[in-house]
Amino acid sequence: MLDLTPYLPQLLVAWTAYIIAVASPGPAVLAIIATSIAQGRKAGLALAFGVLSGSYTWAMLTASGLSALIRTYGQAIVFLKVAGACYLFWLAYNALKAAMRGDAPKAALGVPLQMPLKKLYLKGLGIHLTNPKAIFAWIMLVSLGMPDGAPVAVTAAFIGGCMLIGLVIFCGFAIVFSLSPVHRAYLRSRRVIESLMAGFFAFAGLKLLTTRL
């Protein structure tokens, strides 16, 4: 069995960077929060698992040599950048449409407006897979946590630790923001919250288009 002790200092630095990255407000975190508040715990968890699956996908691809592929096919990142911005604009449109809706019959009764869990999972997956910044974040994390020539066990420990951290943080957001007092507060200010979400997604999409990656 491989002794990971010599690699622990580097792994701890990378895991700390990952905690900061996933806990910072961004499209994925705010989508989990908004979904949990509006639709309840199961909906928030479904979206959180979608985001986590997207993160795991980029982690595996990066550990398998994605950075070399990016250098070879740089145009793919440009395409992904445009696709990610379009997806964020679509989320902004849906949030704005919800904000402009004058009535919310089920919400008025205290019943969350539910989307199919599968659709919410795919939404979370789409948010992360169409975010090219996630790719570069993972390239940075892999360079921090996996020194050149590191055994496969170190790679497994690094990615496994990140996935456990992501599971706790993303699901924690979903659970906390699905609590009844938070949901009642959402009902009182639904249109304001949806409007703010629309503005944030539109801003994030515009920033993604104009930022050099």
The SS3 assignment for 10 reads: helix
The pLDDT of 105-117, averaged and rounded, is 55
As separate numbers, helices (DSSP H) first and strands (DSSP E) second, the chain gives 11, 0
Q: What is residue 130's DSSP assignment? A: T
Residue 182, domain member (yes or no): yes
Residue 68, domain member (yes or no): yes
End-to-end CA distance of the chain: 40
Q: Which amino acid is at 192?
A: V
State the Cα–Cα distance between residues 62 and 53, nearest whole angstrom.
Answer: 14
pLDDT of residue 111: 42
Q: Is residue 122 scored above 80 in pLDDT?
A: yes
Residue 3, domain member (yes or no): no
pLDDT of residue 43: 94
Please, are residues 173 and 33 in contact by the beta-carbon 8 Å criterion? Answer: yes
Domain assignment of residue 185, given as a range: 8-18+25-210
Q: Is residue 71 scored above 60 in pLDDT?
A: no
State the Cα–Cα distance between residues 69 and 81, nearest whole angstrom.
Answer: 16
* pLDDT tens digit sequence for 30-46: 889 889 988 889 999 99
Residue 154, domain member (yes or no): yes
* Residue 66, burial from CB neighbour count under 10 angstroms (0-12, 13-18, 19+): middle
* Residue 94, burial from CB neighbour count under 10 angstroms (0-12, 13-18, 19+): middle
Residue 49, domain member (yes or no): yes
Residue 1, domain member (yes or no): no
What's the pTM value of the predicted model, to 2 decimals? Answer: 0.73
> How many CB atoms are closer than 10 A to CB 144?
18
The pLDDT of 116-142, averaged and rounded, is 83
Q: How many domains does the chain have?
A: 1
Q: Is residue 161 scored above 80 in pLDDT?
A: yes
Please, are residues 161 and 61 in contact by the beta-carbon 8 Å criterion? Answer: no
The pLDDT of 94-110, averaged and rounded, is 60
Residue 56, domain member (yes or no): yes
Output the CA torsion sign for 85, 46, 53, 164.
Answer: positive
The pLDDT of 84-91, averaged and rounded, is 78
Q: Which residue has the tokens 């793919």?
A: 76
Q: Is residue 137 scored above 80 in pLDDT?
A: no
